[in-house]
Amino acid sequence: MSCSRLLIPLYLLSISLLFQLGLAIDLDSYSIYCSQSSFLAGGPYNKNLNNLVRYLDSKTPLTGFGSGSQGLGQNRTYGLALCRGDINSRDCKACVDQASNEIQKVCKLKKEAIAWYDVCMLKYSNLSFLGKIDNKNWYFEESTNFWSNPGYFNKEVIQILSTLQKEAYVSPKMYAAGALEIGNSTTLYGLVQCTRDLSSANCNICLEEAIGAVTPYFHGSVGGKIWGGSCNVRYEIYPFFNA
């Protein structure tokens, strides 16, 4: 299969897609992970966590990524927030605001949590994780529709995601998105992204693991999301990101 069919950047797509005003962000679909370990309401960890979340909420929309820690010793909390590389600061703030509210409601008094939305993620922990690959926390979601030839389709998915991987891990945003023409008049859209606390090498490793899960988990499904604590991949047969 020739790589020349890979359309990166997206401006090589049709004019109708190029000039669309932007896709509306979805804040209704999300997944949240909560740990079992808890902290005392109103205690030092609670105060540090509240300060950290406020910090991430204010810092992240400026560049699309924020990370940091608050407190000392056993009451120290670490966190990050990441917005998808194609969205503007207004939509980034809206998503991080929503994530910070929901994560503290769903994971009330839990020391560790991750909230995944289509356009942002928020993560915090009492353990130092910044700069390290999180290969324990994953969320998988697949389309209920399937391609008639799953083997062929999965090869095309791996093709586009692997090509985007090579672009993302060396880019400042650690983000890449593009499209690939497959079959008869079908376009496959893909997106990959890492949290920017990772080194380029660790971003590459994380994406390699995520892409490697496509075939066993999404065999022939025409859409799939793999959201992790350190990187995310997604593919669809419709445009889901902005040019």
What are the tens digits of pLDDT across the range 27-75? Answer: 877 899 999 999 999 999 999 999 999 999 999 999 999 999 999 999 9
Taking the domains of the chain in order of start, what are their residue ranges? Answer: 3-23+138-236, 30-125
Global pTM value: 0.89
On the question of pLDDT at 87 being above 70, the answer is yes
Q: Which band of pLDDT confidence, cut at 50, 70 and 90, is reported for residue 23?
A: low
- Equal fold, 3-23+138-236 vs 30-125: yes
pLDDT top residue among 123 and 21:
123
Q: Are 6 and 163 in contact (CB under 8 A)?
A: yes
Q: Say what the pLDDT of residue 5 is.
A: 41
Q: What is the mean pLDDT of residues 116-145?
A: 96
CATH homologous superfamily of 3-23+138-236 equals Gnk2 domain, C-X8-C-X2-C motif (3.30.430.20)
Task: For 177-198, write each residue's pLDDT tens digit.
Answer: 999 999 878 999 999 999 999 9
Q: Which band of pLDDT confidence, cut at 50, 70 and 90, is reported for residue 22?
A: low
On the question of pLDDT at 6 being above 80, the answer is no
Q: Are 206 and 230 in contact (CB under 8 A)?
A: yes
Mean pLDDT of the chain: 90
Q: Say what the pLDDT of residue 15 is.
A: 26
Q: What is the CATH number of domain 30-125?
A: 3.30.430.20
